[in-house]
Structure 1
Amino acid sequence: MISLGLVVIKPNVCTLTILINCFCHLSRVDFAFSVLGKILKLGLEPNTVTFNTLIRGLCVDGQIAKAVKFFDEIVNKGFQPSLLTYGTLINGLCKMGITSAAIRLLRKMEEEGTCQPNIVIYTTIIDSLCKGRLVTEALELFSEMIGKSISPNVVSYSCLIQGMCNLGKWKDATRLLNEMIDRKIAPDLHTFSILVDALCKEGMVREAKGVVELMIQRGEEPNVVTYNTLMDGYCLQGRMGEAFKVLDFMVARDCAPNVVSYNILINGYCKSKWVDEAMVLFQEMPHRGLIPTIATYNTLIKGLCLVGRLQNAKGLLNEMQANGHIPNLITYNTLLECLCKNQRLEEAIALFQVIKDCSPNLDISTYNILIDGLCKGGKVKTARELFYTVSTKGTQPDIITCSIMLNGLCKEGLLSDADELFQEMEKYGFSPDCCTYNITIQGFLHHNEISRAMAYLSQMVERGFSADASTVTMLMHLSDDGFDQSFLEMICKITAPYVRERLCFEVPCKQPDQSMCLDQIRLGPYQQVVHTSLWNLLNSGFSRVNQ
């Protein structure tokens, strides 16, 4: 009850429902339910709007389980849900990816019969099914909707087309597009943009350009997002001339490029190592009223590093900071990697210290870059010291960190240390992977520690991992002195596919289903790299190994 001088105003359900709505918009659903308690305490009857507002508030706040529970409670107490009530809850379920529950609610809605689902409810579920890659179920629901005389609209068709495009089903996407045109439903900007984006991602830029041309013919003007998508498609293929033509074309059609447009082109030029052209675009941005973003600077710095222009990259970093942009981890990692690749390790260590000062909780990727650079630069001792300080700084090493360190130790001949690190990996919470095994095996083979290499090889095979080409080549050079038959057979299993797939020049089999043996294969000089005993075993057991 509110007192304004002599006038006393008693709040009603409408007033308090407005207050509930305000709390929900402030993400204070708990306060909103307190107001519901006040309504009941005052002896007032909450109405449909009150309940719908609370359900929507819970859904928006991500409390979907509470929304469903609240819905069930009020229905059990005699509340008759409206179309909006069902629609709000179904939308909340779909946004959380709980499509099966949304379909059950749809069926319950149909059974109750108080209100029938409309195009919005059906489209919401169809869209959720498509996002979950369940396009067959989406099409079934779409057909069911049409069977109930609910006419589809541009949104429902767009959802299905998006679903088909996500699965690469171009014929079905085209069929749906033609079907909607036959139904006199005009594709809108969103529909066309879906097709352009999907085609570009699949590398079908010519077809994407055709869709843009069709848009214009049908009087649907592409927007900056559509043009950016097409430009990015050309950039991904390195067709920078065509990408730049799109920029000119959109300007000619009074569609102003935005920062994203320039970032796409700058990134394309940098990846193609045309950094000077990228810099021209960068300098053009302020003249078009566009302010370069952190992404713009990072792209250019990466491009300059890619072509070895480290000093220019450093200069751009200074310019970036002078213009009020704070470098992020991507900026620093790019420069750090470039310094390591150019063996400027003292500068890399100095930069690493700057990064640590700026970001106390470093990402493991930064450590990985420097450890790898130190190992490759012959500073394995320094790399190992850094490796063992990682966990003390609040960051945990990952499988990549361990693989890098193992590689460095093996190349330096510190095999006992490599062995110890390999055994310690479990301590960090992960098991060795295929890469880790191959690095370790190659390290031991390189230093002629054959028996230790064979122990790791046996373990690798038992765990279902495969040898890479480098490991196989080293195994094929081994002498069989001291090997028992089981080791020879294991090596045979590993090297046989390599012999067949990598070294064979000709397989003159008259019958495709006939099993191959090595006397059918002309290997030329490559037979010389395989030791005699291994060659004989391969030759005699080739068919058996490949079964």
Structure 2
Amino acid sequence: MLKLQKSSIFFNRNAIEGIFSPSSTLYLFKTCIASNHSKASPNTNNNSNNGRHNNAKITTLDDALNMFDEMLQLRSLPSVVRFNQLLAKIAKMKRYSVVVSLYNQMGFHRISTDDYTLSTVINCFCHLNHMGFSLSVLGKFIKSGYVPDTVTLTSLIKGFLRQGMVDEAAECYQQMTRGGVKPDIVTYNTLLNGFCKVGNTSAAVQLLWNMEKHRNCKPDVVAYSTVINSLCKHRLIADALNLFSEMTSRGVIPDVVTYTMLIHGACMLSKREEAMRLFNEMVGRNITPDAHTYTVLVDMLSKKGMVADAQHMTVIMEQKGFKSDVVTYSSLMEGYCLRGEMDEARKIFDMMLDRGCENDIHGYGILINGYCQIRRIDEALGLFEEMPSKGLIPNIVTYSSLIGGFCKVGKTQAAWELICKMQDCGPIPDIQTYSILLDGLCNNGQLEDAVSLFQDMEEKKLPIDIVAYNILIGGLCKAGNLVAAKDLFSQLPSKGLQPDVITYRVMISGLIRGGQMDEATSLHKQMEENGYPSNSGTYNLMIRGSVCNHDLSRAVQLANEMGGRGFSADVSTVDMFLDLISSGKLDPSLRSMFQKEL
């Protein structure tokens, strides 16, 4: 048997004939393919076709290596066709590095190669993510007078895309078409998938239209579905539906994958009616939904709190022969947790375990968070402590939920201790975990501890974001410490941060509460100038502040401005204005403006 040295699996450039840099090989490819595409490749009709036959004796890699060794021992070496058969067989086993090593052995023994040999090696280098070597072999391919065919160039496109080199893949496609090599449906679908994976949906759509222009290579259901899926992922559901209509009008029949993608897209935008319409249309076309289709609908209904409907969907799903899995059960648990129905959520959890689903950290996390949200902290803690006995290690999400739960019930010391435990033996707490504790301390009036924690976060050089600053600024404002709040607000630019709409609203609220209406008005103006237009909440806040500071003309001006922008006064603001009108402090003609808000 041929012995493969460990070093032979890894290659150096000297082992490959026809060495070119990727850029020079692409240039050679551009200049040669156009002039060569009309020539017949040497041996194409014989070796290339024969090379695709499998040797029935070879079933394992050892068989192949033994065969290669025996072939080398023959006094008269077999033709390259036999070697091609062997390399193709090993490539089908996905032992790409072995193919390259045997190719090098062929070169050492001066065994001639042909276009099929080189195409196989190019494909293997592409699978090994060695695109430089692939292009080097392509250089030899072209210098030998061979013309790359669709299969070879599609391998290169796949290789480029596998490494995220989308521009190079597109360039390969362009040279392919300019040189007279006709892409097939595999080529197009490969490139479409590559464009969509990097989020370049517009390029994918353009390529799809280019396909429509070719008589012999129209887009199939895979091509359309790939682009539809990308549009849905980018929340462009209207465009996805338009493309779907275009697809069906051209006689391409959608399948369960296409419909499930569209249903998922509609669910992402909370378009329940559209999702159900698509589901019913699919069933009406006798396209059978699969487990993924049902799971998507169960998740959507659960997130909308329609858990009874979601559970009914699981019954239909199981009647169709699909078993509920941990994903389905988790969606149902989340639905019940959103409704605060923790006993029902626990029943689903127990049912999941009874039906043989493995213990899942996500399932525990959902229940723990659900209990924390309704302040049943003891049950949350019990589940948390149970996890290690089930072979599960709590992750940062689980810890963060429990820390938030302790803060909700005022047990900030327990939350502190949990953070310390994480630092000692658990997952390292991140900025979100610290922010949860920071918020809990502020909400529980422990401002001194909150400031101390914030300073600790700075010393640890955590990437403190605007969310954490908003929490502390809000806490300082609530405590009436406007000097410290304004100081922290003014530091934001030096920290590389810009206030967002929440920062402005928190500061404006604090200034109004502190009787500093002029500063609040100035900050409100600054907010608008910085690209954060007032919303309903900000307007109502400013109006009530103006009234409380006896600036009624400013309050009326803001109310008119708010209405002009399509926002409405809330109940508190309306009641305040009606009281002012009733007491004669405002013109009665304003009553109609506010009564319509009731």
Tell me if TM exceeds 0.5: yes
Pairing of 1:138-177 with structure 2 (within 5 A): 139-141=244-246, 143-144=248-249, 147=251, 153-162=255-264, 167-168=271-272, 169=274, 171-176=276-281
Mapped contact 1:40–1:46 kept (Cα < 8 A):
yes
For 1:208, the equivalent position in structure 2 comes to: 310
For 1:521, the equivalent position in structure 2 comes to: none
Pairing of 1:291-306 with structure 2 (within 5 A): 291-306=393-408
* CA–CA separation in structure 2 for the residues paired with 1:416 and 1:161: 51
* CA–CA separation in structure 1 for the residues paired with 2:128 and 2:109: 30
Give the 3 Å change call, closer, same or farther, for CA 192–73 of structure 1 in structure 2: same
| 1:178 is aligned to 2:271 | no
| 1:384 is aligned to 2:486 | yes
Mapped contact 2:302–2:335 kept (Cα < 8 A):
yes
Residues 352-375 of structure 1: per-residue CA shift (max 9 Å, x gap): 101112235420111111111111
Mapped contact 1:267–1:299 kept (Cα < 8 A):
yes
Return the match for 1:402 from 497, 504, 525. 504
For 1:414, the equivalent position in structure 2 comes to: 516
For 1:346, the equivalent position in structure 2 comes to: 448
Give the 3 Å change call, closer, same or farther, for CA 207–427 of structure 1 in structure 2: closer
For 2:21, the equivalent position in structure 1 comes to: none
- 1:118 to partner: Cα distance: 4.1
Q: Which ranges in structure 2 are unaligned for 5 or more consecutive residues?
A: 1-15, 18-103
Residues 86-115 of structure 1: per-residue CA shift (max 9 Å, x gap): 221233344466667656645654553334
| 1:137 is aligned to 2:242 | yes
Mapped contact 2:431–2:463 kept (Cα < 8 A):
no
Which amino acid is 2:503 matched to? T
**Paired positions, count:** 490
- 1:264 to partner: Cα distance: 1.0
Pairing of 1:47-62 with structure 2 (within 5 A): 47-60=149-162
Pairing of 1:79-228 with structure 2 (within 5 A): 79-95=181-197, 102=204, 105-106=207-208, 108-109=210-211, 111-115=213-217, 117-128=219-230, 132-134=236-238, 136-137=241-242, 139-141=244-246, 143-144=248-249, 147=251, 153-162=255-264, 167-168=271-272, 169=274, 171-176=276-281, 178-179=283-284, 182=286, 185=288, 187-228=289-330
- Secondary structure of the residue that 2:596 maps to in structure 1? helix
Give the 3 Å change call, closer, same or farther, for CA 74–409 of structure 1 in structure 2: same
- 1:334 to partner: Cα distance: 1.3
Which amino acid is 1:398 matched to? D
* CA–CA separation in structure 2 for the residues paired with 1:171 and 1:472: 40
* CA–CA separation in structure 2 for the residues paired with 1:458 and 1:501: 13
| 1:500 is aligned to 2:563 | no
* CA–CA separation in structure 1 for the residues paired with 2:562 and 2:301: 41
Q: TM-score when scaled to structure 1? A: 0.77
Return the match for 1:253 from 355, 366, 369. 355
- 1:286 to partner: Cα distance: 1.0
Mapped contact 1:361–1:393 kept (Cα < 8 A):
no
Name whichever of 304-313 and 204-213 sits farther off.
204-213
Return the match for 1:267 from 364, 369, 382. 369
Give the 3 Å change call, closer, same or farther, for CA 38–8 of structure 1 in structure 2: same
| 1:326 is aligned to 2:465 | no
Mapped contact 2:259–2:278 kept (Cα < 8 A):
no
Give the 3 Å change call, closer, same or farther, for CA 439–29 of structure 1 in structure 2: farther
Mapped contact 2:195–2:204 kept (Cα < 8 A):
yes
- 1:259 to partner: Cα distance: 0.5
* CA–CA separation in structure 1 for the residues paired with 2:124 and 2:594: 68
For 1:290, the equivalent position in structure 2 comes to: 392
- 1:261 to partner: Cα distance: 0.8
* CA–CA separation in structure 2 for the residues paired with 1:291 and 1:388: 42
Residues 415-474 of structure 1: per-residue CA shift (max 9 Å, x gap): 343344345446755455554444334333212244555565666566665544444444
Mapped contact 1:396–1:428 kept (Cα < 8 A):
no
* CA–CA separation in structure 2 for the residues paired with 1:253 and 1:336: 41
Mapped contact 1:161–1:176 kept (Cα < 8 A):
no
Name whichever of 285-294 and 329-338 sits farther off.
329-338
- Secondary structure of the residue that 2:323 maps to in structure 1? coil
Which amino acid is 1:133 matched to? I
Which amino acid is 2:427 matched to? H
Pairing of 1:532-543 with structure 2 (within 5 A): none
Q: TM-score when scaled to structure 2? A: 0.71
Mapped contact 1:87–1:121 kept (Cα < 8 A):
yes
- 1:228 to partner: Cα distance: 1.2
- Secondary structure of the residue that 1:255 maps to in structure 2? coil
Mapped contact 1:126–1:142 kept (Cα < 8 A):
no
Give the 3 Å change call, closer, same or farther, for CA 143–335 of structure 1 in structure 2: same
Residues 157-212 of structure 1: per-residue CA shift (max 9 Å, x gap): 433544565632355344245346x56x5x43222212222222333322222232
- Secondary structure of the residue that 1:45 maps to in structure 2? coil
Q: Which ranges in structure 1 are unaligned for 5 or more consecutive residues?
A: 503-547
- Secondary structure of the residue that 1:397 maps to in structure 2? coil
Q: State the superposition RMSD in angstroms.
A: 3.7
For 1:277, the equivalent position in structure 2 comes to: 379
Give the 3 Å change call, closer, same or farther, for CA 179–394 of structure 1 in structure 2: same
- 1:344 to partner: Cα distance: 1.2
Mapped contact 2:470–2:506 kept (Cα < 8 A):
yes
Give the 3 Å change call, closer, same or farther, for CA 247–471 of structure 1 in structure 2: closer
* CA–CA separation in structure 1 for the residues paired with 2:116 and 2:308: 57
- Secondary structure of the residue that 2:457 maps to in structure 1? helix
Name whichever of 337-346 and 434-443 sits farther off.
434-443
Mapped contact 1:438–1:468 kept (Cα < 8 A):
yes
* CA–CA separation in structure 1 for the residues paired with 2:531 and 2:124: 47
Name whichever of 396-405 and 78-87 sits farther off.
396-405
Structure possessing the higher relative contact order (Cα contacts under 8 Å, 6 or more residues apart): 2
Pairing of 1:451-466 with structure 2 (within 5 A): 451=553, 453=555, 466=568
Which amino acid is 2:421 matched to? E
Name whichever of 333-342 and 437-446 sits farther off.
437-446
For 1:528, the equivalent position in structure 2 comes to: none
- 1:266 to partner: Cα distance: 1.1
For 2:548, the equivalent position in structure 1 comes to: 446
Mapped contact 1:285–1:291 kept (Cα < 8 A):
yes
- 1:29 to partner: Cα distance: 5.7
Name whichever of 72-81 and 417-426 sits farther off.
417-426
Name whichever of 109-118 and 230-239 sits farther off.
109-118
Give the 3 Å change call, closer, same or farther, for CA 443–25 of structure 1 in structure 2: farther
